[in-house]
Amino acid sequence: MRLTAVFESWHIGDGNYPPLKVGQAVNLSFQVEPVGKLDKTDQAVMFDVADDAECVFASELIPIYRRPTERPLGIFQAGEFRFYVEDESIANFAVGDRVGSAGTLLFDYYIWVEFLHEYAEPPNLFYTFQVKRIRKVTLPTEFVTRHVRAVGHPTRLRGDQYAACDIQDLESMEGQNFGPEFYLIDLDTEGVSKTNVRKTFLGS
């Protein structure tokens, strides 16, 4: 299984994840943040993610959790891949519904891995991958607002909001500024041992 997911720079400052490097074995869970409306669908189950981590899916809703999250959290399954969506509209669906939408595939920001012990009979959302490629995307200047004591900017951009000149391939995230930038992480399950890889989230 191959995926590309967004790693937001604030994860480093908050201590959620360590800096990653190419070739590293990781154990991760994932979130999809929808960019459109979630709808019931008769489409065949699928999950496709592009090189910019933008994805489309038609997936079966398995559990729904209303605690400890502020918004309902739904766990979705598309073939061998499971992920979560945290969205108010999850309350409009029932377990077993097939739901379709588009969105961005992200590293779990912590709501699943950190509170795993609070979910009743949680399904396994963790996957062991090898990091195959790391791309740093520096935010174009029009997305960065600088003040005397602070810098404001979004945590990530869609693929149509930046250009090839904003992308830099890295062997490691060590030594980066983790400022107005985010990272696209290419992951692959092939060739990596599924045993003895601890969860990559530092608080687990």
Residue with tokens 């404001």: 152
Give the residues across from 80 on adjacent strands. Answer: none
Strand 167-170 and strand 73-78: pairing?
unpaired
Helix (H, G, I), strand (E, B) or coil at 159: helix
The CB density around residue 21, as the number of other CB atoms within 10 Å, is 13
Residue 44 lies in a domain: yes
The range of the structural domain enclosing residue 102 comes to 28-126
**pTM (2 d.p.):** 0.95
Residue 119 lies in a domain: yes
Per-residue pLDDT, 45: 97
Residue 100 lies in a domain: yes
Residue 113 lies in a domain: yes
Per-residue pLDDT, 71: 92
For the chain, the domain total comes to: 1
Per-residue pLDDT, 36: 86
Ranges under pLDDT 50 in the chain:
none
Contact yes or no for 67/168 (Cβ under 8 A): no
Per-residue pLDDT, 148: 74
Residue 37 lies in a domain: yes
Residue 79 lies in a domain: yes
Strand 181-188 and strand 2-8: pairing?
antiparallel
Residue 169 lies in a domain: no
Contact yes or no for 50/2 (Cβ under 8 A): no
Residue 97 lies in a domain: yes
Contact yes or no for 153/161 (Cβ under 8 A): no
pLDDT digits (tens, 9 = 90+) for 57-77: 999 999 999 988 889 999 999
pLDDT digits (tens, 9 = 90+) for 81-104: 999 999 999 999 999 999 999 999
